[in-house]
Each structure stands twice: as structure tokens, then as C-alpha cells.
Chain A
Amino acid sequence: MAAAPEQKGVVDGNGVARASWLVPSLAYVLVVGMLGITTKLALEDLHWTELVLWASVSYVAIAMAMVVLGGQRLELVPDARWGALSGAFAATALITLFLALNSGDVSRVIPITSSYPVVTLALAAIVLGERVTSKRVLATILVIAGVILLSLG
């Protein structure tokens, strides 16, 4: 597969270059950070299978609203298989994390599960041909080390 072109940073009124991918990435950090709290609180009342069920109901309801109100339709274009695979991985990740936390100590599970960006980094270089510079490797190590410290604190 050829390297995917990166949409370069935009330049604001003051001439400051900003990476356009950073804003949605930080929005993800904020939203999923809140999700960690709702998950923890929900699991005080529910079994993990119930959490998977109700979270799925909620997600599917939003998708149905997109179909009914937004006119969104599934199209079976060639790259749809990658979309289906991404969806399957997202659901599998959710279930495997609950399974791991259900049977293991957080102090053992989190250090291992936090290391997934390493897999992404390696595959981004091999599959997509992205440049994996020493700066990106160092930054990824810093983030993973920080997440492990946060999780074990």
C-alpha cells in the first residue's frame, strides 16, 4: 500500500502553523477520558456484559438517527471491507479489555494494554509507508510511560 498523504497544518491569522489533526485528536482524549469515568461508575452497578449491551444499544441508536434524520446509507464500495474490519476491531477491543480487567489486576493489565501504539507505529511504517522518526518513537514512549504511571498511581 502506498503512503497516505497527510493533510498539512493550517495557518491561522497570526501565521502560526497548526496541525489540523491535533484538534480532533485532543477532542478524542477528552471524550474517551470521560468515558473512562462513566465506565468505572457503570461497572459498580452492572456486569461487564450489560455494559457492552447498553453501550451497543446507545451507539446503534445514534447510528439509526444518522440513517433516519441524516439520510446516511451504507454503500458497498471496495474500501467498505476496511470500514467493516475497523468496526469489528473497535468492538473486539472493547470486549477484550473488559475480559482482561474482569480476570486480572489493573496493575498487570494496563501496562500491557497501554502499549498498543507501538503496534500501530510499526504497522504504519510497514503497511502505510509512513516515516517513523526517532522523535515519534520517543514521543510514543513518553506517552505510554506516562499512561502506565497514571494507571498505576
Chain B
Amino acid sequence: MRSLGWLPPSVCFVLVSGLIGITTKVALRSLPLGQLFLWTAIAYAIAGAGALGTGAPVSLSMPGTALAIGTGGLAAAGLSVRFAALQRGEVSKVIPVTAAYPVVSVAIAAVALDEGIDLKRLTGTVLVVAGIGILGQP
């Protein structure tokens, strides 16, 4: 029997990711964007300390470390614009649109990493764009 060890963290991801939009929207009723950014930084600092606490070796392996630092920068930029989107729009519109980011990953992977685009991916892109088109209507 295959291990189901991946299932609890997957379900946990769905729940916390589903909740983020709600708690962010409530927080932004009176909290400025910068404050929300700082609270998230505190949570990330705790997560980073936790990662250190696992005792796993920390390496300065290039380009991996540089890419990981870039990932943190992109995460910061991404969260900032998502906060701005949630401040301006309804959660039930913003979150489904922001969930479409794999389209960009697939497009960049096709161009930069030479990963092909097959019919399945093309169909997926069309469905995502159609969904965004519907949500984006005034």
C-alpha cells in the first residue's frame, strides 16, 4: 500500500490557503498594507527559525541559494500585490484569479527550461484564461 503521508499536509495547505484570503480581507479593513507585510515577515522569520531548528544542514550552494533568496523576494512582491488586490476587490473574485499563476510557470518553463507545451497544458491555459475572463467582468 502506498504511503499517504502527503495527504495531511495537502489538506492542511487547502485549509490554510483557503483561509488566507478571508483573514487578509478582514485585517485590511483597518490595517495598512505595510503592517500586514510586517506581520507576514514575523511569521516567515519564525518559519525560517523552525527550518534551522530541524537540524538540517545549511549550505551556500550556488545557484540554489541565490535562487532561494530570489524566491523570498518574489514571495514578498507577490504577497504585496495580493494584499493590494484584496484591499480593492471581493475575496471570491480575487482568490480564484490569483490561483491562476501556474499558467505563467508553464509558459516560462516552456521558454526558459525547454519544457514543451502539449494539448493538455494548452487546454488548461484556455480554461484558466476563460475563468479569469468571467471573473474580470465588471
Contacts and interface: CB of A to CB of B under 8 A. Distances in A.
Interface of A: 1, 4, 6-7, 9, 17-47, 49-64, 66-67, 70, 72, 74-75, 77-80, 82-97, 99-105, 108-109, 112-125, 127-128, 130-132, 135-136, 138-153
Contacts of B100: 29, 143, 146-147
Interface centre among B43, B52, B79, B106 (most CB of A within 10 A): B43
Contacts of A84: 39, 42-43
> Interface size for chain B: under 10, 10 to 19, 20 to 34, or 35 or more residues?
35 or more
Contact of A94 (B24, B42, B47, B52): B47
Contact of A89 (B19, B31, B48): B19
Contacts of B59: 46, 50
Q: What secondary structure prevails in chain A residues at the interface with B?
A: helix
20 contacts: A22-B97, A22-B136, A28-B81, A30-B104, A31-B74, A33-B105, A33-B108, A35-B78, A42-B67, A42-B68, A59-B76, A66-B38, A89-B19, A91-B47, A95-B47, A112-B14, A116-B99, A120-B18, A124-B92, A135-B134
Contacts of B117: 153
Interface of B: 3, 5-7, 9-27, 29-31, 34-48, 50-52, 54, 56-59, 61-65, 67-79, 81-82, 84-109, 112-113, 117-118, 120-121, 123-132, 134-136, 138
Interface centre among B47, B65, B85, B130 (most CB of A within 10 A): B47
A52 B113 CA distance: 23
A64 B72 CA distance: 14
Given A20-B88, A25-B97, A150-B106, A87 B44 contact: yes
B124 A29 contact: no
Contacts of A145: 124, 127
Contacts of A90: 20, 40, 43-44, 79
B20 A42 contact: no
Given A29-B100, A130-B92, A60 B127 contact: no
